[in-house]
A and B are shown apart, each in its own frame.
Chain A
Amino acid sequence: QKEVEQDPGPLSVPEGAIVSLNCTYSNSAFQYFMWYRQYSRKGPELLMYTYSSGNKEDGRFTAQVDKSSKYISLFIRDSQPSDSATYLCAMSVTGNNRLAFGKGNQVVVIP
């Protein structure tokens, strides 16, 4: 079993819809959870990070972590064509700076 599982998609949604992305993981020691956005031929850009369980909101983006289910989610409200990108989840253990990445989920927002 891979440490982090993420459905690679692609996921196509109409403009204005809610985009829902998620990852599952197997290592219960993970404490830091991140979502990165990567445009084609560019490096990943940090969108959100959360420590331990709970929700975090930033503008149109909401990140949720459910440690009991080993499940994290990212929601994008009022999606825009500029949100079209690959979204990668990543996580790490406290005291260890190595990140474990999901495969990335390609999102296409159709105008």
Chain B
Amino acid sequence: GAVVSQHPSRVICKSGTSVKIECRSLDFQATTMFWYRQFPKKSLMLMATSNEGSKATYEQGVEKDKFLINHASLTLSTLTVTSAHPEDSSFYICSAQDRDRYGYTFGSGTRLTVV
């Protein structure tokens, strides 16, 4: 089945630094990748939608300069949290839509802790 690899699974960084999270579709080409944020015991909050080779579309209230998304190829999208602050600590999850069939496959998530 479709597999999405997300890396790192856990990261701790100092306030003010930047963190990059990678999302790769391993056995399919992803026309579209999504980035979500999930708070404890809450549902997934869509942050942005990215299509290969074009700029990401951000949801209302999500700072595009803070959460930089790059979708350079059909198998790789990255989310960079710039100048991270403790309030950015959260669980970030990517998902990818298979170009050839219906379905959304999620990565295993990244637990970001900003200290």
> Which A residues lie at the B interface, using CB under 8 A?
6, 8, 32, 34, 36, 41-46, 49, 88, 97-99, 101-104, 106
Nearest residue (CB) in B for A99 is B104
Q: Which of B46, B91, B104 contacts A41 (CB 8 A)?
A: B91
Given contact pairs A41-B91, A49-B103, A98 touches B46 in the complex (Cβ within 8 A): yes
Nearest residue (CB) in A for B44 is A101
Find chain A residues with CB under 8 A from B6 CB.
Answer: 43
**What does DSSP make chain B's interface, helix, strand, loop or mixed?**
strand
Given contact pairs A97-B49, A97-B97, A98-B49, A43 touches B43 in the complex (Cβ within 8 A): no
B90 at the interface (CB under 8 A from A): no
Find chain B residues with CB under 8 A from A98 CB.
Answer: 34, 46, 49
Can you list 22 A-B contacts with CB-CB less than 8 angstroms, sorted by A residue number?
A: A41-B109, A42-B108, A42-B109, A43-B4, A43-B93, A43-B108, A44-B95, A44-B106, A46-B106, A49-B102, A49-B103, A88-B44, A97-B32, A97-B49, A97-B97, A99-B104, A101-B43, A103-B42, A104-B41, A104-B42, A104-B43, A106-B41
Interface size class of B (residues with CB under 8 A): 20 to 34
Find chain B residues with CB under 8 A from A99 CB.
Answer: 34, 46, 104
